[in-house]
Amino acid sequence: MALLEDQPAGGARQEAKLLALMKPLDVEAFAWQHANDITLDPDTVATLSYMARVELATEVYQRTLCTTRAAHDPYVSAFLGAWLHEELPHGELFTRLLAHQGHAVQDERQTWGMRLTLLRGRVLNTAMARIFRQHFFAVHMAWGAVNEQSTLQGYLELERRTDHPLLRDVLAAIIKQERRHYAFYSTMAKRQLDASAFSRRLTRFALARFWTPVGVGVRPRHEAEAVIRHLFPHGSTTAADIDRRVDDLPGCDGLGLLDKAARRAWAAAA
Ligand SMILES: [Fe+2]
Ligand SMILES: [Fe+2]
Protein backbone atom coordinates (compact mmCIF):
# COMPACT_ATOMS: atom_id res chain seq x y z
CA MET A 1 0.00 0.00 0.00
CA ALA A 2 1.30 3.45 -0.84
CA LEU A 3 2.16 5.42 2.25
CA LEU A 4 0.60 8.56 0.80
CA GLU A 5 -2.60 6.92 -0.44
CA ASP A 6 -4.71 8.25 2.38
CA GLN A 7 -3.05 11.66 2.55
CA PRO A 8 -4.90 14.87 1.71
CA ALA A 9 -4.61 15.94 -1.92
CA GLY A 10 -2.81 19.15 -0.90
CA GLY A 11 -0.02 17.14 0.72
CA ALA A 12 0.40 14.87 -2.27
CA ARG A 13 0.51 17.88 -4.60
CA GLN A 14 3.35 19.36 -2.56
CA GLU A 15 5.49 16.24 -3.12
CA ALA A 16 4.57 16.21 -6.82
CA LYS A 17 5.63 19.86 -7.14
CA LEU A 18 8.99 19.15 -5.51
CA LEU A 19 9.55 16.14 -7.74
CA ALA A 20 8.74 18.16 -10.87
CA LEU A 21 11.53 20.63 -9.98
CA MET A 22 14.20 17.95 -9.57
CA LYS A 23 16.77 17.80 -12.36
CA PRO A 24 20.48 16.92 -12.18
CA LEU A 25 22.96 19.79 -12.62
CA ASP A 26 24.92 19.82 -15.86
CA VAL A 27 28.56 19.58 -14.78
CA GLU A 28 29.74 20.91 -18.16
CA ALA A 29 27.61 24.06 -17.90
CA PHE A 30 29.86 25.67 -15.27
CA ALA A 31 32.68 28.14 -16.12
CA TRP A 32 35.58 25.76 -15.59
CA GLN A 33 38.00 28.28 -17.11
CA HIS A 34 37.72 30.09 -13.74
CA ALA A 35 38.57 27.00 -11.65
CA ASN A 36 42.05 28.30 -10.89
CA ASP A 37 41.26 31.99 -10.48
CA ILE A 38 41.88 31.71 -6.72
CA THR A 39 43.79 29.01 -4.85
CA LEU A 40 41.55 27.31 -2.30
CA ASP A 41 42.86 27.24 1.29
CA PRO A 42 43.76 23.82 2.81
CA ASP A 43 40.71 23.67 5.14
CA THR A 44 38.33 24.33 2.23
CA VAL A 45 40.13 21.69 0.15
CA ALA A 46 39.75 19.15 2.98
CA THR A 47 36.05 19.98 3.48
CA LEU A 48 35.27 19.82 -0.24
CA SER A 49 37.18 16.55 -0.55
CA TYR A 50 35.12 15.07 2.34
CA MET A 51 31.86 16.34 0.84
CA ALA A 52 32.76 15.06 -2.65
CA ARG A 53 33.21 11.54 -1.27
CA VAL A 54 30.04 11.72 0.80
CA GLU A 55 27.97 13.05 -2.13
CA LEU A 56 29.29 10.30 -4.41
CA ALA A 57 28.39 7.74 -1.73
CA THR A 58 24.70 8.75 -1.93
CA GLU A 59 24.43 5.71 -4.18
CA VAL A 60 25.19 3.54 -1.16
CA TYR A 61 22.43 5.15 0.91
CA GLN A 62 19.94 5.17 -1.94
CA ARG A 63 20.44 1.48 -2.75
CA THR A 64 20.22 0.67 0.96
CA LEU A 65 16.99 2.62 1.41
CA CYS A 66 15.40 1.15 -1.70
CA THR A 67 15.25 -2.18 0.12
CA THR A 68 12.92 -0.72 2.76
CA ARG A 69 9.20 0.02 2.89
CA ALA A 70 9.94 3.61 1.86
CA ALA A 71 10.45 2.46 -1.72
CA HIS A 72 6.87 1.09 -1.88
CA ASP A 73 5.47 4.61 -1.86
CA PRO A 74 5.37 6.03 -5.40
CA TYR A 75 6.41 9.55 -4.35
CA VAL A 76 9.22 8.35 -2.11
CA SER A 77 10.42 5.84 -4.68
CA ALA A 78 10.44 8.56 -7.37
CA PHE A 79 12.15 10.95 -4.97
CA LEU A 80 14.92 8.48 -4.06
CA GLY A 81 15.69 8.00 -7.77
CA ALA A 82 15.68 11.74 -8.53
CA TRP A 83 17.63 12.44 -5.34
CA LEU A 84 20.47 10.11 -6.38
CA HIS A 85 20.62 11.76 -9.82
CA GLU A 86 20.95 15.18 -8.17
CA GLU A 87 23.48 14.20 -5.48
CA LEU A 88 25.99 12.49 -7.78
CA PRO A 89 26.75 15.66 -9.83
CA HIS A 90 27.37 17.48 -6.51
CA GLY A 91 30.21 15.03 -5.86
CA GLU A 92 31.40 15.29 -9.47
CA LEU A 93 31.45 19.12 -9.34
CA PHE A 94 33.57 19.19 -6.17
CA THR A 95 35.85 16.44 -7.52
CA ARG A 96 36.42 18.34 -10.78
CA LEU A 97 37.06 21.66 -9.04
CA LEU A 98 39.58 19.99 -6.72
CA ALA A 99 41.27 18.27 -9.69
CA HIS A 100 41.74 21.69 -11.37
CA GLN A 101 43.44 22.82 -8.17
CA GLY A 102 45.73 19.76 -8.15
CA HIS A 103 43.91 17.65 -5.53
CA ALA A 104 42.76 14.16 -6.50
CA VAL A 105 39.61 12.72 -4.92
CA GLN A 106 39.58 8.96 -5.08
CA ASP A 107 36.29 7.42 -6.16
CA GLU A 108 35.73 4.74 -3.53
CA ARG A 109 32.35 3.44 -4.66
CA GLN A 110 33.78 0.11 -5.82
CA THR A 111 36.09 -0.51 -2.86
CA TRP A 112 35.56 -3.43 -0.47
CA GLY A 113 35.05 -1.00 2.40
CA MET A 114 32.18 0.67 0.56
CA ARG A 115 30.66 -2.69 -0.42
CA LEU A 116 30.77 -3.74 3.21
CA THR A 117 29.10 -0.45 4.25
CA LEU A 118 26.39 -1.10 1.65
CA LEU A 119 25.81 -4.68 2.83
CA ARG A 120 25.72 -3.65 6.50
CA GLY A 121 23.28 -0.83 5.72
CA ARG A 122 21.00 -3.10 3.70
CA VAL A 123 20.87 -5.80 6.36
CA LEU A 124 20.25 -3.30 9.16
CA ASN A 125 17.65 -1.26 7.28
CA THR A 126 15.78 -4.31 6.03
CA ALA A 127 15.66 -5.81 9.54
CA MET A 128 14.51 -2.53 11.12
CA ALA A 129 11.89 -2.00 8.39
CA ARG A 130 10.51 -5.53 8.95
CA ILE A 131 10.26 -5.02 12.70
CA PHE A 132 9.02 -1.43 12.85
CA ARG A 133 7.29 -1.10 9.43
CA GLN A 134 5.85 2.41 8.89
CA HIS A 135 7.48 3.62 12.13
CA PHE A 136 10.90 2.96 10.63
CA PHE A 137 9.83 4.99 7.61
CA ALA A 138 9.34 7.95 10.00
CA VAL A 139 12.88 7.43 11.37
CA HIS A 140 14.27 7.29 7.84
CA MET A 141 12.54 10.53 6.77
CA ALA A 142 13.55 12.39 9.97
CA TRP A 143 17.13 11.16 9.61
CA GLY A 144 17.17 12.40 6.03
CA ALA A 145 15.80 15.79 7.13
CA VAL A 146 18.58 16.21 9.73
CA ASN A 147 21.27 15.24 7.21
CA GLU A 148 19.94 17.43 4.40
CA GLN A 149 19.63 20.41 6.75
CA SER A 150 23.20 19.83 8.04
CA THR A 151 24.52 19.62 4.48
CA LEU A 152 22.57 22.71 3.41
CA GLN A 153 23.87 24.81 6.32
CA GLY A 154 27.42 23.57 5.70
CA TYR A 155 27.26 24.68 2.06
CA LEU A 156 25.72 28.04 3.01
CA GLU A 157 28.63 28.55 5.40
CA LEU A 158 31.16 27.71 2.65
CA GLU A 159 29.37 30.03 0.22
CA ARG A 160 29.49 32.92 2.74
CA ARG A 161 33.23 32.46 3.21
CA THR A 162 34.61 31.92 -0.26
CA ASP A 163 35.61 34.49 -2.87
CA HIS A 164 36.24 31.79 -5.45
CA PRO A 165 33.86 32.69 -8.32
CA LEU A 166 33.33 29.17 -9.64
CA LEU A 167 32.95 27.64 -6.17
CA ARG A 168 30.32 30.28 -5.36
CA ASP A 169 28.37 29.39 -8.53
CA VAL A 170 28.66 25.67 -7.85
CA LEU A 171 27.53 26.08 -4.24
CA ALA A 172 24.62 28.36 -5.18
CA ALA A 173 23.32 25.74 -7.63
CA ILE A 174 23.79 22.88 -5.18
CA ILE A 175 22.18 24.81 -2.32
CA LYS A 176 18.94 25.21 -4.32
CA GLN A 177 18.75 21.44 -4.65
CA GLU A 178 19.68 20.73 -1.01
CA ARG A 179 16.80 23.03 0.06
CA ARG A 180 14.38 20.88 -1.92
CA HIS A 181 15.84 17.67 -0.47
CA TYR A 182 15.31 19.05 3.02
CA ALA A 183 11.78 20.17 2.15
CA PHE A 184 10.88 16.69 0.94
CA TYR A 185 12.34 14.79 3.90
CA SER A 186 11.02 17.19 6.53
CA THR A 187 7.50 17.26 5.00
CA MET A 188 7.37 13.47 4.94
CA ALA A 189 8.88 13.17 8.42
CA LYS A 190 6.43 15.65 9.97
CA ARG A 191 3.47 13.85 8.45
CA GLN A 192 4.61 10.46 9.74
CA LEU A 193 5.57 11.78 13.17
CA ASP A 194 2.30 13.69 13.59
CA ALA A 195 0.40 10.48 12.91
CA SER A 196 1.92 8.23 15.57
CA ALA A 197 3.20 8.57 19.15
CA PHE A 198 5.23 5.39 18.70
CA SER A 199 6.90 6.82 15.56
CA ARG A 200 7.81 9.90 17.57
CA ARG A 201 9.30 7.84 20.42
CA LEU A 202 11.20 5.53 18.06
CA THR A 203 12.54 8.42 15.96
CA ARG A 204 13.65 10.36 19.01
CA PHE A 205 15.39 7.27 20.42
CA ALA A 206 17.08 6.44 17.09
CA LEU A 207 18.37 9.97 16.53
CA ALA A 208 19.55 10.42 20.13
CA ARG A 209 21.25 7.03 20.27
CA PHE A 210 22.54 6.36 16.75
CA TRP A 211 22.72 9.57 14.70
CA THR A 212 26.21 10.55 13.57
CA PRO A 213 27.23 13.56 11.45
CA VAL A 214 26.70 13.28 7.68
CA GLY A 215 29.31 11.03 6.10
CA VAL A 216 30.50 9.16 9.21
CA GLY A 217 30.58 5.51 8.15
CA VAL A 218 31.50 6.38 4.60
CA ARG A 219 34.43 8.42 5.95
CA PRO A 220 36.25 8.14 9.30
CA ARG A 221 34.88 10.15 12.23
CA HIS A 222 38.09 12.20 12.60
CA GLU A 223 37.58 13.57 9.05
CA ALA A 224 33.99 14.52 9.86
CA GLU A 225 35.18 16.26 13.02
CA ALA A 226 37.74 18.29 11.07
CA VAL A 227 34.94 19.42 8.72
CA ILE A 228 32.75 20.34 11.70
CA ARG A 229 35.56 22.40 13.25
CA HIS A 230 36.04 24.16 9.91
CA LEU A 231 32.37 24.93 9.31
CA PHE A 232 31.23 25.47 12.93
CA PRO A 233 34.01 27.49 14.58
CA HIS A 234 33.74 28.61 18.22
CA GLY A 235 31.05 31.27 18.46
CA SER A 236 29.24 30.09 15.32
CA THR A 237 25.46 29.76 15.58
CA THR A 238 25.18 27.33 12.65
CA ALA A 239 24.95 24.18 14.79
CA ALA A 240 22.23 25.81 16.92
CA ASP A 241 20.38 26.87 13.74
CA ILE A 242 20.33 23.26 12.51
CA ASP A 243 19.23 21.99 15.93
CA ARG A 244 16.33 24.46 15.90
CA ARG A 245 15.12 22.92 12.62
CA VAL A 246 15.35 19.46 14.20
CA ASP A 247 13.31 20.79 17.12
CA ASP A 248 10.48 21.43 14.62
CA LEU A 249 10.12 17.70 13.93
CA PRO A 250 7.35 16.37 16.20
CA GLY A 251 8.86 14.53 19.18
CA CYS A 252 12.43 15.59 18.37
CA ASP A 253 12.75 18.86 20.29
CA GLY A 254 15.78 19.47 22.50
CA LEU A 255 17.97 16.70 21.04
CA GLY A 256 20.84 19.13 20.37
CA LEU A 257 22.43 16.73 17.87
CA LEU A 258 24.64 19.26 16.12
CA ASP A 259 25.59 21.03 19.33
CA LYS A 260 26.80 17.71 20.76
CA ALA A 261 28.63 16.83 17.53
CA ALA A 262 30.35 20.24 17.49
CA ARG A 263 31.38 19.94 21.16
CA ARG A 264 32.76 16.47 20.53
CA ALA A 265 34.66 17.65 17.44
CA TRP A 266 36.25 20.51 19.38
CA ALA A 267 37.04 18.26 22.36
CA ALA A 268 38.82 15.82 20.01
CA ALA A 269 41.15 18.62 18.90
CA ALA A 270 41.85 19.96 22.39
FE1 LIG B 1 24.23 17.05 -2.19
FE1 LIG C 1 20.93 16.54 -0.54
Task: Evaluate if residue 67 carries a pLDDT over 70.
Answer: no
Task: Evaluate if residue 241 carries a pLDDT over 50.
Answer: yes
- State whether residue 174 is helix, strand or coil: helix
Predicted local distance difference test score (pLDDT) of residue 5: 38
How far is the centre of ligand 2, averaged over its atoms, from the C-alpha of 206 (Å)?
A: 21
**DSSP per residue, 120-151:** HHHHHHHHHHHHHTHHHHHHHHHHHHHHHHHH
Task: Evaluate if residue 66 carries a pLDDT over 70.
Answer: no
Taken as a whole, the chain contains a residue count of 270
Domain-wise residue ranges, the chain: 38-268
Task: Evaluate if residue 74 carries a pLDDT over 70.
Answer: yes
What pLDDT digit, counting tens, does each position of 156-193 carry? 999 999 999 999 999 999 999 999 999 999 999 999 99
**Percentage of the chain exceeding pLDDT 90:** 64
Task: Evaluate if residue 6 carries a pLDDT over 50.
Answer: no
Q: How would you class 96 by CB atoms within 10 Å of its CB: exposed for 0-12, middle for 13-18, buried for 19 or more?
A: buried
How far is the centre of ligand 2, averaged over its atoms, from the C-alpha of 150 (Å)?
A: 9
What pLDDT digit, counting tens, does each position of 79-94 carry? 888 998 999 999 999 9
How far is the centre of ligand 1, averaged over its atoms, from the C-alpha of 124 (Å)?
A: 24
How far is the centre of ligand 1, averaged over its atoms, from the C-alpha of 251 (Å)?
A: 26
* pTM reported for the whole predicted model: 0.89
- State whether residue 35 is helix, strand or coil: coil
How far is the centre of ligand 1, averaged over its atoms, from the C-alpha of 178 (Å)?
A: 6
Query: 116, 64 in Cβ contact below 8 A?
Result: no
How far is the centre of ligand 1, averaged over its atoms, from the C-alpha of 17 (Å)?
A: 19
Average pLDDT, the chain: 88
Q: Which of 44, 19, 169 is nearest to 103 (CA)?
A: 44
More reliable by pLDDT, 205 or 67:
205
More reliable by pLDDT, 62 or 51:
51
Give residue 58's Cα distance to chain centre: 8
How far is the centre of ligand 1, averaged over its atoms, from the C-alpha of 179 (Å)?
A: 10
How far is the centre of ligand 2, averaged over its atoms, from the C-alpha of 138 (Å)?
A: 18
How far is the centre of ligand 2, averaged over its atoms, from the C-alpha of 85 (Å)?
A: 10
Surrounding residues of ion ligand 2, Cβ less than 5 A: 148, 178, 181
CATH of domain 38-268: 1.10.620.20
Query: 246, 193 in Cβ contact below 8 A?
Result: no
Confidence band of 7 (pLDDT split at 50, 70, 90): very low
How far is the centre of ligand 1, averaged over its atoms, from the C-alpha of 34 (Å)?
A: 22
Q: Which of 124, 127, 135 is nearest to 251 (CA)?
A: 135
Torsion of CA 59, 262, 143, 46, to 10 degrees: -10
Predicted local distance difference test score (pLDDT) of residue 69: 60
How far is the centre of ligand 1, averaged over its atoms, from the C-alpha of 206 (Å)?
A: 23
**Percentage of the chain exceeding pLDDT 70:** 90
How far is the centre of ligand 1, averaged over its atoms, from the C-alpha of 88 (Å)?
A: 7
Ranges of H-type helices in 66-133: 74-100, 112-132
How far is the centre of ligand 2, averaged over its atoms, from the C-alpha of 149 (Å)?
A: 8
Identify which ligand lies nearest to the alpha carbon of 174.
Answer: 1
How far is the centre of ligand 1, averaged over its atoms, from the C-alpha of 181 (Å)?
A: 9
Query: 154, 51 in Cβ contact below 8 A?
Result: yes
Identify which ligand lies nearest to the alpha carbon of 150.
Answer: 2
Confidence band of 9 (pLDDT split at 50, 70, 90): very low
How far is the centre of ligand 2, averaged over its atoms, from the C-alpha of 25 (Å)?
A: 13
Identify which ligand lies nearest to the alpha carbon of 62.
Answer: 2
* Cross-strand partners of 216: 219
